């Protein structure tokens, strides 16, 4: 992609340059492929300005493996409509073409604009190395929206998870404390008054939460 071809103003705020869009493309696919090449089966992403605000009282990857989960998240948010222009329609076109709307996924029930907040993301390599995800990503990539409409890695990967996993394979780390200022600040479950300190698997309806202020 030539820098002169990429519009610097897309309506998605804050406006980001070519480097940021390279990062979105990298995080949506290439980073996981590189981790696989390095021999890592499980991937845990946390941005360098993210903080765990309490003890993690178990082996994250062991828990995922024992419970047969493939993707783990800590919260969901709603992306701004100006940052996902045509993305959901492009994904739906792809899903319809391949007949991917089935009982084996939850794409048809995943709200437009809902994203797993992947600044905290635990995943198994098999999601991203699967021929299905790689073909889906190639389709999204070739559509050009990452560079020309500033599609982010979070919505691209969230749609991918909803297309290629059943919701039973998704784990909500509802017991962990996590902060990523200024957007997310979650107390550890043991410090909350409304729980007994234990997380529980989410029902399908709980997978997507839409705050009033998009992130």
132 in active site: no
Which candidate in 41, 55, 93, 121 is catalytic? 121
Residue 106 CA, distance from chain mean position: 14
Rounded Cα distance, 166 and 32, in Å: 20
Rounded Cα distance, 9 and 24, in Å: 16
Rounded Cα distance, 206 and 45, in Å: 22
The region that residue 137 occupies, defined by phi over 0 for left and psi between -120 and 50 for alpha, beta otherwise, is alpha
* H helices present in the chain, as ranges: 18-25, 31-37, 60-66, 87-98, 125-129, 131-143, 145-148, 153-164
Rounded Cα distance, 174 and 172, in Å: 5
Active site residues: 121
């Amino acid at each position: 992609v030539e820098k002169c071809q990429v519009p610097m103003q897309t309506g998605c705020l804050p406006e980001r340059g070519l480097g940021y869009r390279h990062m979105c493309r990298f995080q949506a696919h290439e980073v996981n492929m590189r981790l696989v090449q390095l021999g890592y089966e499980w991937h845990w992403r946390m941005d360098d300005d993210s903080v765990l605000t309490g003890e993690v009282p178990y082996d994250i990857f062991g828990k995922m493996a024992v419970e047969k989960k493939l993707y783990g998240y800590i919260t969901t948010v709603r992306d701004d409509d100006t940052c996902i222009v045509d993305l959901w329609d492009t994904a739906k076109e792809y899903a319809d073409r391949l007949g991917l709307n089935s009982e084996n996924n939850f794409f048809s029930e995943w709200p437009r604009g809902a994203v797993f907040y992947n600044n905290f993301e635990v995943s198994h390599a098999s999601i991203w190395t699967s021929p299905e995800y790689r073909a889906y990503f190639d389709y999204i990539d070739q559509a050009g929206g990452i560079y020309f409409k500033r599609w982010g890695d979070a919505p691209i990967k969230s749609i991918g998870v909803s297309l290629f996993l059943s919701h039973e394979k998704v784990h909500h780390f509802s017991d962990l404390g996590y902060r990523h200022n200024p957007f997310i600040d979650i107390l550890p479950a043991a410090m909350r008054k409304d729980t007994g300190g234990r997380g529980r698997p989410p029902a399908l309806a709980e997978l997507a939460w839409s705050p009033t202020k998009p992130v």
